[in-house]
Structure 1
Amino acid sequence: MKLTILGTGNATVTKCYNTCFVLSDGDRHFLVDAGGGNQILGILDKVDVPLQDIHDIFITHEHIDHLLGLIWLIRMIGQKMNQGKYEGDVRIYCHSDLVPVITTITGLTIQKKVTKHIGERIQLIPLESGDTKKILDCDVTFFDIGSTKAKQFGFTLTTKEGVKLSCCGDEPYNPCEEEYVKGSDWLMHEAFCLFGEADKFKPYEKHHSTVKEACQLAEELKVPNLILYHTEETHLAERKKLYTKEGQEYYRGNLYVPDDGDVFEVQMVGNIRNIQ
């Protein structure tokens, strides 16, 4: 299983893209969130993920930096369907309250010759917390993260080799997620900024965490591999170095601070759970 990070930034970034990523098995792709604009089209092209090979998309929640790129994807995939250049259906997974939001926005902004596919070849699949779907031949379980801002779901995915990856959305881990996240080999977690700059970026006011808290959490959960994303952008050139330095003070596993476009192999690497 290959994990390609499409964007790493928070909602207001301009020097990198909003947080989203794609999981791939050969030429099959599972896209998670789509960022806030049509840049998603160029980014997917740059990392060689053709639209016609995306058949599963998950949108975590309604905020524009996660949702609006989807509108462009629906438009372009629908056009390809009309041109006979897209085989099969596309399945868009989201919590049940988000389905009418997507339907309304697409109905107001996209021509009917495309939106006619919604409900047929463009399938909006409502999720309830705890639902499991088969995506890329993997079991993917979706769960409510208990957001205090807007209803949001995360997920866990278990590969065919038995490696478990969990995504907690873009808010700090909540104890209500424990039954899904425990035992994960990989954890994807937001880190809005360095702990030393919390007064400057005020992550807690925005219901986010710092590198320190994210790493303390991963250490407590004994997750061997941690990926940090959804960050500020003032340190892009040095972000990897600065975040890694702070994070390693609190976390003994494999810490990854990706840039847009970085690629990972989701496999068993390290095992902090054996550390006493």
Structure 2
Amino acid sequence: MTASPQVNLRGKRVLVTGGARGLGASISERLAHAGASVVVADVRSEQAQAHCRSLKEKGYEAESIELDVRDPAAVAAAYLEFDQTEQGVDILVNNAAVDVSKPIEHLSAEEVTRVVTTNLLGPMYLCLESYRRMIRRGGGHIVNILSTASNRTWTEAAAYSAGKSGLRAFTHTLFKEAQRDCPGIGVTGIIAGGMETPFVLDRFPGADTSKLQSPDIVADTVLYALSVPVGSVVPELVVVPRSETSWP
């Protein structure tokens, strides 16, 4: 474990979507190390359980749930279960994402639907459930993991860029409404550049990893956003490798 921003999350319950591997696993471990009780949510239930076992072996507090963010009924049901406990979700990290790297002429309707539903509608479903509960409690924090594709696109990234651009717009709107509705709620969008994770390497096994950043760096950026004292908030952060070609 390398040095990370100093933040005490003891007593906080954090939900991390896509938390079983890659960036999600790094985020859940960093937040657990800061004292949070972490809920690892993923469609890969076995991987989520294995990651939770690893976290518990290190002395951290963690649990896993199987969750497909594309299913609004499943998202609502998960939050109803959280409501049955003494503690709801204090911090939501919307990290789950997929991509299909194809030219537009070769994309199927099913592929477009899967990418946009996972990357845009899923996080929105989770924000709806979290935000209204945070309003009632008077505080909380929502972190949406964005991408350089939310600011600038490239070929073979049409559906991915559309989803992430939409999520960035939604995040900005949510930030504005939180300013109006409840100053205790933080909303942060994190624009992350290329990372050395399965999300990239499974699709591009020959990628030059020297030009990719560690997901731990982005996880530390999440921690930094959560470390800002009440009364201030970081609405958006950008963290990219020095060699990133898709920014600005």
In proportion to residue count, which structure has more strand? 1
In proportion to residue count, which structure has more helix? 2
TM-score, normalised to structure 2's length?
0.41
Which structure carries more relative contact order (alpha carbon 8 Å, separation 6+)?
Answer: 2
Please say which structure displays the higher CA radius of gyration.
Answer: 1
